[in-house]
Structure 1
Amino acid sequence: MAAVGSVDIELELIQWLQAKTGPGVIVRDELDNRLLEELPTVQVQRLPAGGDDGFRLDRALVDIDVYHSTRGAATALAAQIRGWLLTELPGTHTGTAVFGRVTSSPPPAVRPYENTALRRVGATYQIYSHPA
């Protein structure tokens, strides 16, 4: 596999966020039909945007959505995740990736969701990384 873009940003963030949030929170890439029974859930999805510098540095745009039973709880968890991503992820090394600059645009905000029994708060992050 070529070095450019070889960081699986979704997998890396899912593992990193699961370790940060602990066992009471589910972190995944895809939602399923049991979402109401699995709250809170954090969904991590790389967007079809971003790019690379032609060498090793990958610039990924990633949506991170928090699903929770109340707006306040979803907002609080999304804010906590934003804090971790902006202050703790840069400089982090895993077995397969090194993370650099992280920005959030827009910051976490309420996003519509068709099921009124839960609330969704999300943000888009720009994350720079390269293979370890």
Structure 2
Amino acid sequence: MTAVGSVDVEVLLIAWLRPQLPGATVRAELDNNLGNELPTVQIQRAGGDDDGFRLDRALVDVNVYAATRGAASVLSATVRGLLLTQLRGAATGGAVVGHVSTVSAPAWRPYENTGLRRVGATYEIYLHPVP
């Protein structure tokens, strides 16, 4: 029997987004080299819940870092489009994604390094392991 939450949504999204975002770094954690890895898309699970059996409802923060606010905004909109139109219904990374919705649309978020710009959004993603 597969345990609830056995599919790591961060790992799934990073692997799924990388080939679709050529030229961007897609990762879960930032490091001290961020300024040299722009643009960067950061994927972080922010919470969610499950049905106690197989269905996982993940809340995922997606932060985009770029040299300019415009570049961060465009890339964030691209990620949003991919998640809402291409990820829904996909079988990838050992899971089936049943539903994707926007909880908080892409918006500028402050960042302590004033040489970078960050645009962030939060998505709700329903997924379950492939049987």
TM-score, normalised by the number of residues in structure 1: 0.95
- For 1:78 and 1:36, how far apart are their aligned partners in 2? 18
The match for 2:13 is 13
Percent of aligned positions that are identical: 64
Count of residue correspondences = 130
| Structure-to-structure mapping, 1:63-102, within 5 angstroms | 63-102=61-100
Deviation at 1:3, TM superposition (A): 2.9
Q: Does 88-97 or 60-69 show the bigger shift? A: 88-97
In the alignment, the residues of structure 1 paired with residue 127 and residue 73 of structure 2 have an alpha-carbon distance, to the nearest angstrom, of: 27
| Offset, 1:95 | 4.5
Shift of residue 67, structure 1, vs aligned partner? 0.2
Distance 2:2 2:127 in 1: 14
* Gaps in structure 2 of 5+ consecutive residues: none
Moved over 6 A (4+): none
Which one has the bigger strand percentage?
Answer: 2
> What is the aligned counterpart of 2:127 among 126, 129, 132?
129
Indicate the residue corresponding to 2:55 in structure 1: 57
Asked whether the equivalents of residues 15 and 93 of structure 2 are also in contact (C-alpha less than 8 Å), the reply is no
User: In 1, Cα distance between the equivalents of 2:97 and 2:74?
Assistant: 24
1:26 aligns with: 25
Opposite residue 31 of structure 1, the aligned amino acid is L
